[in-house]
C-alpha cells in the first residue's frame, strides 16, 4: 500500500484516500470529497476540521438546536486525519494521569474527569447505534499485559493509583499470568491489568457515519476546503470566508500548520500494520475472544485489536518527529517502524510468523506541552478549540464535542466544570530544541524498553525524558 496525499494539492481521488489506512480502505461508500465551500457564507458556528472533534461538536450542536447554522470546513475528506487511521480503541483513557489531574485541579476534579471518560465510551456506542452507524462495536475491555518484572511493577503501580482514587476492581484489575493468558495467549506473560472500559471499533466507519449523520441534521460539511486562517468571527479558505459568531479549531496534529499556532501541539506519528484475516485455528492460539483491545506495560506505547473481520490491527509510536513540526505524506510510512511492529507482534504471538501483512499506514496525533488534552471557548472572541489527546482521542473527542456544544449554548452542565475545560498548556519550545527534546525522548524510551528485562529502575535519561514530556 502506498498513498500520498498532501494538504496543498488538488483533492486526490477516492482510491488515494483508501490507501491512507486499512480502515479507510474497508469503509463502505465513496470517499470522493463532497460539497467544497462555494463562496462566502454566514453561519452561527464554523468548525475547522472534520475529524471526530469537529463532527461530534457539530452533532451535539445540531441535536440540541436544530435551528443553528453550523458549517464544517475540511481540507481533505471527513476522517482524513487520525480519526480515519487510529487503533480503534474507544477507551476511557485520558492522557493525563489521575495523580497529575489531582495536582492540577484537585482530587475530586480528577475523579470526575475519569468518571466522565468512562461514561463517554458508552455514549459513543449509544450514538452509533441510534444513528445506525455500524462501527463494528465490541465492548470487550482492554488487557495490558505485563511481560517482565518491571512491567509487572508498573501494572501494580497503576492499580494502586486507581485504588487511591477510589476506583475498584470493576474499573481496573490486576490479573495473574493465568488469567491474562485466558484473554491473550501471548508469550512471557507474568500478569496484566484489565479494564472493561473500552470498545474495539472500526474508526473510519464511525467518522464517515458521523459525517453523514450531521449532514442529515442540516450541518454543512465542506470537504476539499482548507482553512488558511482562523480569526474571531471567521474562517478563511481559498474559495470563501465563513463568518460566524463562534469559530472552533478541531485540527489536532495539523494545528501547527495554521498561522500563529506553530507551537500549540507537536504532531507525533503513530504507525500501524494490519494482517490478512486469520483462520479460526490461528485465533484459537491467540484468544482475544470478545475482542478486548490489547497492549503491554512497556514505555513506548503499543496497541492492538482483533478486527471484526478477523485481522490483527497493531500499532505503536516510535516514528521520528520532524523538524518544524512538519507533516508530509511520506512520514506516514517508515519501513523500520513497520518492521519493528511486525517483529513485536510476532514476539507476542509467534503463531503470526507466517501471517501476511496487507496494510501499513500512519498519521500524526497532537501532543500539548504538558501532555494534557484540553477543550475551551473564549466567550469574548467566540474562538474555541479542543485537542492534544495524544493517542486517546477516539472517545475523548466525544466528550470534547459535548463540552464545546454546552459552552457555545451556555448550558450549565457538569461537563463545563471538568478540569480540562479552558486548561491552557504552555507552548512547545522553539526549534531546534523541540526537535532535539522530542527525538531524544523517543530514543531514550525505546532503549529503556529494550533493556527492561535487566533493569529494575528507570535510567537517569528516562527520568529526564519523563520530566521533559511533563509526566
Ligand atoms: C495511528 C494512530 C493510532 C491511534 N490510535 C488511537 C486509539 O486506538 N484510540 C484512541 O483513543 N486514539 C487513538 N489515536 C488518536 C486519535 O485518533 C485522535 O486523537 C483523534 O482521532 C483526534 O480527532 P480530531 O478530530 O481531533 O483530529 P483528526 O482526526 O486528525 O482531524 C483533524 C482534521 O482536520 C483537518 N484539517 C487540518 N488542518 C486543516 C485546515 N487548515 N483546514 C481544514 N481542515 C484541516 C484534517 O484534514 C483532519 O481531517 C491514534 C492516532 C493515530 C495517528
Q: Which pLDDT score, from 0 to 100, does residue 453 have?
A: 62
Q: Among 51-65, 79-93, 284-298, 455-469, which stretch is predicted with the lowest mean pLDDT?
A: 455-469
pLDDT at 454 over 70: no
Give yes or no for residue 403 having a pLDDT over 50.
yes
Ligand 1 pocket mutation, candidates 81, 91, 331, 368, criterion most atoms within 8 A of CB: 81
Q: How does pLDDT run across 363-376, given as a tens digit for each residue? A: 999 999 999 999 99
C-alpha of residue 120 to centroid of ligand 1, in Å: 18
> Which whole-number Å values give the CA distances from 422 to 39, 331, 362, 379, in the listed order?
32, 32, 30, 11
d(CA 400, CA 397): 5
d(CA 248, CA 231): 10
C-alpha cell at 309: 473481520
pLDDT band at 14 (very low <50, low <70, confident <90, very high): confident
Q: What are phi and psi of 296, to 5 degrees?
A: -140, -175
pLDDT > 70? residue 330: yes
Better-predicted residue by pLDDT, 459 or 177: 177
User: Among 246, 270, 242, 265, which residue's Cα sits nearest to residue 254?
Assistant: 265
**For the residues of 355-406, what is the DSSP string, one character each?**
PPEEEEEEEEEEE-TTS--EEEEETTTTEEEEE--TT-HHHHHHHHHHHHHH
Q: Residue 461's pLDDT band (boundaries 50, 70, 90)?
A: very low
pLDDT at 445 over 90: no
Sequence-distant (≥ 6) Cβ neighbours of residue 233 within 8 angstroms: 243, 244, 245, 247, 382
Ligand 1 near 252 CB (within 6 A): yes
What spacing in Å lies between the alpha carbon of 388 and ligand 1's midpoint? 10
Q: Is the CB of 248 under 6 A from ligand 1?
A: no
Give distance in angstroms: CA of 130 to centre of ligand 1.
23
Ligand 1 atom at minimum distance from 225 CA: 43
- Residue 272's φ and ψ, nearest 5 degrees, are -140, 160
Mean pLDDT of 277-300: 96
- CA–centroid distance, 84 to ligand 1, in Å, is 7
Contact (Cβ atoms closer than 8 angstroms) between residue 228 and residue 257: no
Q: Which helix (H) or strand (E) holds 154?
A: helix 149-164
pLDDT for position 450: 76
Ligand 1 pocket check for 87: Cβ under 6 Å: yes
Return the higher-pLDDT residue of 318 and 454.
318
pLDDT confidence tier of residue 12, bands split at 50, 70 and 90: low
Q: Tell me, what's the pLDDT at 207?
A: 98
- State the average pLDDT for the chain: 93
Relative to the CA of 395, which ligand 1 atom is closest? Answer: 11
Q: Cell numbers of 84, please?
A: 480515519
Share of the chain above pLDDT 90, in %: 86
Residue 404 to residue 263: CA distance in whole angstroms: 23
Closest CA to 49 of 251, 252, 327, 258: 251
* 11, pLDDT greater than 60: no
Residue 3 has pLDDT above 90, yes or no: no
443 pLDDT band, cuts 50/70/90, is confident
Q: Which residue has the higher pLDDT, 252 or 461?
A: 252
In short, whether 397's Cβ falls inside 6 Å of ligand 1 is yes
pLDDT in tens, 202-217: 999 999 999 999 999 9
What is the mean predicted confidence (pLDDT) over 355-368? 97
Give me the mean pLDDT over the 302-317 stretch. Answer: 96
Give the lowest-confidence range in 186-190, 257-261, 310-314, 438-442. 438-442
pLDDT at 360: 98
pLDDT at 5: 43
How many whole angstroms separate alpha carbon 279 and alpha carbon 91?
27
Sign of the dihedral defined by the CA atoms of residues 324, 329, 332, 337, in that order? negative
Q: From the CA of 342, how far away is ligand 1's center (Å)?
A: 24
Does ligand 1 come within 6 angstroms of the Cβ of 50? yes
197 pLDDT more than 80: yes
Amino acid at each position: 500500500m502506498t498513498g500520498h496525499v498532501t494538504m496543498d494539492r488538488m483533492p486526490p481521488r477516492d482510491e488515494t484516500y483508501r490507501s491512507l489506512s486499512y480502515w479507510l480502505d474497508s469503509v463502505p461508500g465513496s470517499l470522493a470529497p463532497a460539497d467544497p465551500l462555494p463562496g462566502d457564507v454566514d453561519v452561527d458556528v464554523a468548525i475547522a476540521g472534520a475529524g471526530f472533534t469537529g463532527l461530534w461538536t457539530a452533532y451535539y450542536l445540531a441535536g440540541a438546536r436544530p435551528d443553528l447554522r453550523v458549517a464544517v470546513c475540511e481540507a481533505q475528506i471527513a476522517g482524513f486525519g487520525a480519526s480515519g487511521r487510529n487503533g480503534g480503541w474507544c477507551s476511557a483513557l485520558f492522557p493525563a494521569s489521575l495523580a497529575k489531574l489531582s495536582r492540577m485541579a484537585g482530587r475530586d476534579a480528577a475523579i470526575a474527569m475519569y468518571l466522565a471518560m468512562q461514561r463517554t465510551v458508552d455514549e459513543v456506542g449509544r450514538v452509533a447505534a441510534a444513528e445506525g452507524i455500524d462501527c463494528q462495536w465490541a465492548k470487550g475491555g482492554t488487557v495490558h499485559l505485563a511481560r517482565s518484572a518491571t512491567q509487572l511493577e508498573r501494572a501494580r503501580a497503576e492499580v494502586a493509583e486507581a485504588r487511591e482514587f477510589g476506583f475498584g476492581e470493576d474499573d481496573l484489575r490486576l490479573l495473574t499470568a493465568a488469567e491474562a493468558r485466558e484473554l491473550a495467549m501471548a508469550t512471557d506473560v507474568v500478569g496484566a491489568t484489565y479494564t472493561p472500559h473500552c470498545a474495539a471499533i472500526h474508526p473510519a466507519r464511525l467518522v464517515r457515519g458521523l459525517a453523514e449523520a450531521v449532514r442529515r441534521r442540516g450541518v454543512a460539511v465542506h470537504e476539499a476546503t482548507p482553512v488558511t486562517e482562523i480569526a474571531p468571527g471567521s474562517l478563511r479558505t481559498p474559495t470563501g470566508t465563513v463568518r460566524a459568531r463562534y469559530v472552533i479549531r478541531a485540527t489536532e496534529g495539523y494545528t501547527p500548520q495554521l498561522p500563529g499556532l506553530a507551537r500549540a501541539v507537536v504532531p507525533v506519528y503513530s504507525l500501524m500494520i494490519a494482517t490478512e484475516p486469520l483462520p479460526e485455528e490461528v485465533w484459537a492460539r491467540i484468544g482475544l475472544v470478545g475482542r478486548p483491545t490489547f497492549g503491554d506495560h512497556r514505555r513506548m506505547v503499543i496497541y492492538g485489536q482483533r478486527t471484526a473481520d478477523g485481522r490483527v490491527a497493531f500499532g505503536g509510536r516510535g516514528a521520528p518527529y520532524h523538524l518544524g513540526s512538519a507533516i508530509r505524506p511520506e512520514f506516514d510510512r517508515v519501513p523500520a517502524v513497520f518492521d519493528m511492529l511486525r517483529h513485536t507482534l510476532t514476539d507476542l504471538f509467534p503463531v503470526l510468523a507466517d501471517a501476511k501483512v496487507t496494510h501499513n499506514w500512519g498519521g500524526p496525533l497532537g501532543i500539548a506541552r504538558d501532555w494534557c488534552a484540553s477543550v475551551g471557548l473564549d466567550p469574548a472572541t467566540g474562538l474555541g478549540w479542543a485537542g492534544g489527546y495524544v493517542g486517546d482521542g477516539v472517545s475523548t473527542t466525544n466528550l470534547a464535542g459535548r463540552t464545546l456544544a454546552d459552552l457555545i449554548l451556555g448550558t450549565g452542565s457538569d461537563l463545563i466544570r471538568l478540569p480540562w475545560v479552558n486548561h491552557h498548556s504552555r507552548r512547545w519550545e522553539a526549534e531546534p530544541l523541540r526537535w532535539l527534546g522530542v527525538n531524544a525522548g523517543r530514543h531514550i524510551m525505546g532503549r529503556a524498553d529494550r533493556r527492561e528485562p535487566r533493569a529494575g529502575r528507570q535510567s537517569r535519561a528516562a527520568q529526564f525524558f519523563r520530566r521533559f514530556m511533563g509526566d
